[in-house]
Amino acid sequence: MRDTSDAPPRARGARLGWLDALRGVAALVVVYEHALNPLYPELREVTGPWFDAGMYGVMVFFLVSGYVIPASLERRGSVPEFWIGRLFRLYPLWAVVVAAALLLAVTGIDAPHIWLTDRPASAILGHLTMLQDLLNVPNVINVLWTLSYEMAFYLLVTALYLARVHLRSAEIACGFGVLAVAAGGILPSVLLSRGAGATLATTLAVIALAGCGLAGALSSRAALRRAGAVALALVTLGLIAVNGRIPAWQSLTILATMFAGTALYRAKAGQIGWPRALALAGSVPVAAVAAGGWHSPGFPWSWAIAVVAAWATFAAGMLLAERRMPAVWAWLGMVSYSVYLLHPILLEIVDGLLPDPASIAWPYRLGLGVVVLAVLLGCSALTYRLVEAPAQRAGRRLAAAARSGGAGPGRPLKDGGRVPG
């Protein structure tokens, strides 16, 4: 079974091979980045100052998400169905991997973060929202930080859809890019979550506000949907602007990148003109590089090159969109979520086995890297088959039940929820 929940509606239910290829490339590059410390620290010393491979990989992921996620919502025409799909897509594997990380902590392979014992309520609640990186809650697994931005994007996409301004993606992308350059260096980080009590209070407030916003979004009453849209937008923008763990200019750049991906989708789908999409969305990588140069000490070459390379990769994917991609890349894209979440677990085990990797000869470490990659791909195939695919099928069944339930909240919006044209 292939997940079709993210696919734009060129052919309903069909996956686009070039997007799968991009997901596969991004996942493998992120694995490479995280394998440097436990296996090849010498490479990081050489390449690190010039190229941030991890940021390159996640920027490609963000562009892909921006391209497909709003299309997924608009294709369904139903906010409840969209969220059912998202929850069943993300949380089942997330739960398995978080449990695996806790198992490493219990067995002593990896030390548990002090928050798990000193601030368990904040740690648990923050992770359950998937917004933990915007709540100053340390990530149980390092890669989970990107899911916070994915979740923030879903909330904003929902708000814009309900407010019927979702077709303004190009202008929104440009706006976030301009804000990253103009104000990214003066907006504070972790403004609301400084201290144990403040973190818990902020987390509870976000849960309450976002919960009320989603409840309004699922309502059949137009006034409540509009109020829900406002609540979702305010809480998400507030976290992004003043409470992220990373600097505000980076947070704003990430959102600009995702909405730029949406603008490119809209141009491809004929919803907006290419000149408008290229002029506005094309300003985003320029703004990203400018924000990094303006707000970081010294010029961050590794950031700039990663951003440009990610955009070049996405552009190449779009140019090759009509070509048939090799089956291996389609498969890698299909299991990329498993690859992305599972690889830190395997690398933590490797890190525990190799306290000083530089003292081991290169041929042995290269061989170990091949073994780790093979094990990772095998485990990813299993988790996709046993966790991801069944969960997605269950989500589709639940969404279908909600859709056929008559006047319940699973029905599409009646007053303008669908994409015009």
Angstrom distance (rounded) from CA 173 to CA 179? 10
Q: Which residues contact 105 (CB under 8 A, 6 or more apart)?
A: 111, 112, 116
pTM: 0.92
Q: How many residues does the chain have?
A: 421
Percent pLDDT > 70 in the chain is: 91
The C-alpha atoms of residue 62 and residue 77 are separated, in whole angstroms, by 23
Check pLDDT > 70 for residue 15: no
* pLDDT at position 2 over 80: no
- Of the candidates 66, 82, 64, the residue with the CA atom closest to the CA atom of residue 74: 82
- Structure confidence at residue 299 as a pLDDT band (50, 70, 90): confident
Residue 416: the pLDDT is 38
User: Across all residues in the chain, what is the average pLDDT?
Assistant: 90
> Helix count (H) and strand count (E) of the chain?
18, 0
- The string of pLDDT tens digits covering residues 276-291 is 999 999 999 999 999 9
The CB-based long-range contact list for 233-238 (8 Å cut-off, 24+ gap) reads 233/155, 233/156, 233/159, 233/160, 233/163, 234/209, 235/155, 235/206, 235/209, 235/210, 236/152, 236/155, 236/156, 236/159, 236/210, 237/156, 238/192
Greater model confidence, 157 or 401: 157
What 3-state DSSP class applies to 178?
helix
Q: Which helix (H) or strand (E) holds 287?
A: helix 283-295
Asked if pLDDT for residue 305 goes beyond 60, the answer is yes
One-letter amino acid at 390 equals P
pLDDT at 421 over 60: no
Q: Which amino acid would we find at residue 308?
A: V
> Which residue ranges make up each domain of the chain?
17-403
Q: What is the pLDDT of residue 114?
A: 63
42 pLDDT exceeds 90? yes
Q: Are 325 and 21 in contact (CB under 8 A)?
A: yes
pLDDT in tens, 362-394: 999 999 999 999 999 999 999 999 999 999 999
